[in-house]
Structure 1
Amino acid sequence: MNSVSTEIKQLLTDQKTEWELAGKNFSGLENVQVREFQFDGFTVKVQFNPGRIVSSAAKVDKKSIEARPCFLCAANRPVEQRGVTFGEYEVLVNPFPIFPEHFTIPAFAHKPQQIKGNFGNMLDLAQAMDGYSLFYNGPKCGASAPDHFHFQAGNTGFMPLDDEMTALKEKYGDTWEKDNVNYCAIKDGLRNFFVLESASKMYMINAFAYIYTELGNQESEEEPMLNILARYIDGVWRILVFPRALHRPLQYFADGEENILISPASVDMGGVLITPQEKDFMKIGKADIESILKQVLLPVDQFDKLTTKLKQ
């Protein structure tokens, strides 16, 4: 096992005993309730996880961000929290976990959440963190700290998508090869996303940069909306890019019975929807899941246009 993976596993073991909050919340995962929904060729799980209300309901507008101290800056972290250094990042135990092994990986520097200029580092981290899926949530796509650049990671196999890729590519994929990168555009009826696979870091960076540019608005400096999942498997990087259309679905803002407090991010795209409120966990159905994911992801027509450009 890679030394970084070994170090962070030990870190997690230690932090569960050293840090009361982390120990309590990781123990709480043993009692988390899960419902499974079967779609055509894949599974979506819904997890009732009250501890995630901190993230799901996070206020990420500029005024709210400026009014609170940055909880990813070292000076503002709990005294019990410590990490493992990897380059310009520090791997920390996430005290509000979704995964049995859940880490937040902030940059040492306080800089905005923007994947541009940091994607190569994501590939390096994915390669170093054997047995983990690395993920990135854009500043308006699930990141609860859009003011401080960070990745997250969780143990591989927890998200259904980890084990469904081969079947999804065969059933729903449009595949092609270009510049030493294998592409697959997948439309599975809920999610529209791209799979990029390559053994070359340079070609992978170039391929992602093109997608990033095509998704962007030349009149705006804001980052295009996206989520990214990354793994390094047998010498090959596999990157999943989920282009987004919305930060949060209509259900998030609805009143009364129509309200469902879900703020989709990378883990939700991977097939685990997080509901911090029990009422939502009990009532959510397949139609709700389909509605929520279709709203927040790039619509089919725009996705198809982007696919055509990528093939040229």
Structure 2
Amino acid sequence: MNIDFQEGVHKLIDEQLINWPLARDNYQGLSSVKTRVLEVAPATTMRIQFNPARIRSSAAKVDEQSIRQRKCFLCSENLPVQQRGIGFGDYTILVNPFPIFTRHLTIPHKDHIDQRIEGRLTDMLNLARALPDFVIFYNGPRCGASAPDHFHFQAGNKGFMPVEKELSAHPGKIKLLDRDRVKVFSIENYLRKTLVFESDDEEMLLKWFTRVFTFLGKVQHMEVEPMVNILCSRERDLWRVFLFPRREHRPRQFYAEGAEQILLSPASVDFGGVLITPREEDFEKLNADTINDIFNQVTLDDDTWTQVQLIFKV
């Protein structure tokens, strides 16, 4: 672990919150963000956050025409003049000025290349090792990424998402694999289909992750990549990777009109147990039944999930 590197990232955050008014104001605003917690299933909680600053991300237009008509906000030449970054290989670590976490990073690739995780999970593992205070996360191009045309990760301080704590004691936790220095678990009856990989061996972890990812690509027939959200962290000497396979970008409530509309576009943080609502009316109306319905629409279907689990019976 490079302690000095992570300290440099923490210093970057602190300095940006002093010198960049937009970031300072939005991080200060987190202290007044409304939150409430619901138990949506046994041993399964969801924290709902009313965060109006996130409307830009939650309601982002990600169709090809809309993307072509705007400047890429992750390209270095389009960053705000006050924004500073720290290099990390092919990436630049930036403070996210529209935070969910009290320490929230955006980590774009230095080149303008599409949001595709294939071949870049190693980068995610390296980031997790370099930033052990953080959870690194990836939103696929139709899975919450508001810039699907520019590859990027994000990161947030550990301990914020319920999934981090619920994994260890959840009654639905099932061990699917324990070999090649890799353990794989599923969490059943957990609102969303969830696989958890744990390993101290990068090569073996990549091998088993790739098997699942390749299978999902075959059964989903997607033009770009299978629909996934990924969380990755370093826990002592192990990597822990949460894989949330899914089948839909947004639930029908997102497109509804009038009182039926809920502007909730689930991404990695939502799958991690924190629902981000940029409108107060949605914050107030969400209940356990509605949340179950939304995740049932976007998470992987039961038949394909059964096939995924069979991958580990070899």
2:195 matches 1:186: no
Aligned mate of 2:149, from 147, 151, 154: 147
Where 2:290 maps in the other structure, the secondary structure is: helix
Equivalent of residue 298 in structure 1, options 297, 300, 304: 300
Q: Partners in 2 of 1:238 and 1:136 — Cα distance?
A: 14
Amino acid in the other structure paired with 2:34 = Q
- Determine if contact 1:178/1:311 at 8 Å carries over to the other structure: no
In structure 2, distance between residues paired with 1:178 and 1:223: 27
Deviates more, 1:171-180 or 1:148-157: 171-180
**Shift, 1:98, TM fit:** 0.2
Q: Residues of 2 paired with 1:306 and 1:130: CA distance?
A: 29
Shift of 1:105: 0.3
Q: Determine the structure 2 residue equivalent to 1:7.
A: 8
| Residues 137-177 of structure 1: CA deviation (Å, up to 9, x unaligned) | 00000000000000000000011111111012x43324321
Residue aligning to 2:200: 199
CA distance in 2, matches of 1:217, 1:59: 27
Q: Which residue of 1 aligns with 2:18?
A: 17
Larger mean CA deviation between 241-250 and 295-304 belongs to 295-304
Distance 1:258 1:240 in 2: 31
Residue matched to 1:124: 126
- Please give the residue correspondences for 1:148-163 in structure 2 after superposition, counting only pairs within 5 Å: 148-163=150-165
Using the alignment, how far apart are the partners of 1:259 and 1:290 within structure 2? 16
CA distance in 1, matches of 2:189, 2:11: 38
1:212 is matched with which residue? 213
**Separation (CA, whole Å) in 2 of partners of 1:300 and 1:179:** 28
- Note the residue ranges of structure 2 that are not aligned, 5 or more in a row: none
Deviation at 1:220, TM superposition (A): 4.8
| Counterpart Cα distance in 1 of 2:130 and 2:259 | 45
Shift of 1:225: 0.2
Question: Distance in 1 between the 2:25 and 2:249 partners?
Answer: 30
- Alignment TM-score, normalising by the size of structure 2: 0.96
Give the conservation status (yes or no) of the 8 Å contact 1:211–1:310: no
**C-alpha distance in structure 2 between counterparts of 1:206 and 1:138, whole Å:** 20
CA contact (8 A) 2:177 2:312 kept: no
Over residues 229-266 of structure 1, what are the superposed CA-to-partner deviations in whole Å (9 max), with x where a residue is unaligned? 00111110000000011000011001111110000000
Residue 242 of structure 1 is matched in structure 2 by: 244
- Any conservation in 2 of the 1:126–1:232 contact (CA below 8 Å)? yes
Q: TM-score, normalised by structure 1?
A: 0.97
For 1:224, the equivalent position in structure 2 comes to 226
Residues in 2 aligned to 1:206 and 1:4: alpha-carbon distance in whole angstroms: 28
Counterparts of 2:31 and 2:196 in 1: how far apart (Å)? 32
In structure 1, C-alpha distance between the alignment counterparts of 2:190 and 2:100, rounded to whole Å: 25
Q: For the residues of structure 1 that align with 2:233 and 2:7, how far apart are their CA atoms?
A: 17
Alignment match, 2:280:
278
Moved more, 31-40 or 48-57: 31-40
Residue identity opposite 1:205 in structure 2: L
Aligned in 2, Cα 1:231/1:189: closer, same or farther, shift over 3 Å? Answer: closer
Which residue of structure 2 lines up, in the alignment, with residue 110 of structure 1? 112
Q: Which runs of 5+ in 1 are unaligned?
A: none
Secondary structure of the corresponding residue to residue 14 of structure 1: helix
2:174 partner letter: G
Matching residue of 1:307: 309
Is the Cα contact below 8 Å between 1:136 and 1:151 reproduced in 2? Answer: yes
Does the 8 A contact of 1:174 with 1:184 survive in 2? Answer: yes
Give the CA deviation at 1:309. Answer: 2.1
Q: CA separation in 2, counterparts of 1:249 and 1:3? A: 43
Alpha-carbon distance in 2 for matches of 1:297, 1:58:
20
Q: How many residues align?
A: 311
2:46 maps to: 44
Checking the alignment, whether the CA contact within 8 Å between 1:89 and 1:107 is kept in structure 2 is yes
Q: Distance in 1 between matches of 2:87 and 2:313?
A: 39
Aligned to 1:83: 85
Question: Any idea what SS the aligned residue of 1:217 has?
Answer: helix
